[in-house]
Structure 1
Amino acid sequence: MDSLLDGYPVITEIPVAWGEMDALQHVNNVVYFRYFETARLDYFTHIGLMEELKESRVGPVLSGTQSRYRLPVTYPDTLLVGSRVSAVDKDRFTMEYIIVSRQQQQITTYGQADIVMFDFNTHSKAEISHTLRGQIEKLQPDLVCQDTTDLTS
């Protein structure tokens, strides 16, 4: 099962709760976005983003997110959510997620999120700091960070 998570440097384990089931007795589609959020925050912890936010008041804002469902998940189960950054620009980055079911031993879901850095002092977009960029590259040495985003857009 570990090979299903290859290429995802942060793995977050999440137990499926009974209350996450819908009328058809599988995890409700909206719950997957909470799973992605949990994995995203775990990734942010690994790169020191939340500590940097406390100091600089520059942090992540979710710009958009999506999910693609492959297989239904049911209670009881434990999910492994892999997270990684797939693209980095001056003021934003893209994250990808994969969810693997321990019970099914298969990939059940794919997800993606666009994150924009935001300066909560000036209420405007902000560049990703060199420190944060370095932490992402340290966690994912094969990732090529780009500097292509025009901050005026």
Structure 2
Amino acid sequence: MNLAQFTHITEEHVRWGDCDMLGHVNNTLFLRYIESARIAYIEEVMHSDLLPGAQVGWVIADLHCNFRGQLHYPAKLETGSRITRVGSSSATIEAAIFANGEPAPVFTSTAVIVWCDYQEGKSLRIPDRIREAIRGHEGDVEGL
């Protein structure tokens, strides 16, 4: 797996406060990094409204992660994201974090996100405008 396989890239830097007493980035921060990348993908590619008070939107139904290496301060991070499958009401988004231009990721994840009505707590069909936005950005994706 390499960064070129991803269609959406976000950049950030490890902050001094991201590190724990052992001097490496705390494991919970990896999830924050991919959260930032996922939100950027949703906003920039899907043009979805994530503002407080929205009636519908994405929730995470399933998340798997794999720690492949350590991160230390300072480090420049590039997080790649891509949608690999679209169902009726859900989509699978993969992410990988690459550090300091290295070819192998230090962290990978796969998440299933579900389009839902927040008040009802029920899944909804992903709107056609979002399906088209994903297709326009990703090209061929399973389920589209």
Alignment match, 2:8 = 10
Maintained 8 Å contact 2:45/2:134: yes
Q: TM-score, normalised by structure 1?
A: 0.84
Give 1:44's aligned amino acid.
I
Alignment match, 2:41 = 43
Alignment match, 2:106 = 108
Gap change, CA 1:60 and 1:17, over 3 Å in 2: same
Residue in structure 2 matching 1:23, options 5, 17, 21: 21
Q: TM-score, normalised by structure 2?
A: 0.89
Using the aligned pairs only, state the percent identity: 29
Secondary structure in structure 1 of the residue aligned to 2:95: strand
Q: Which 5+ residue runs of structure 1 have no aligned equivalent? A: 147-153
Maintained 8 Å contact 2:43/2:50: no
Alignment match, 2:79 = 81
Gap change, CA 1:52 and 1:34, over 3 Å in 2: closer
Aligned ranges for residues 118-137 of structure 1 at < 5 Å? 118-137=116-135
Gap change, CA 1:36 and 1:139, over 3 Å in 2: same
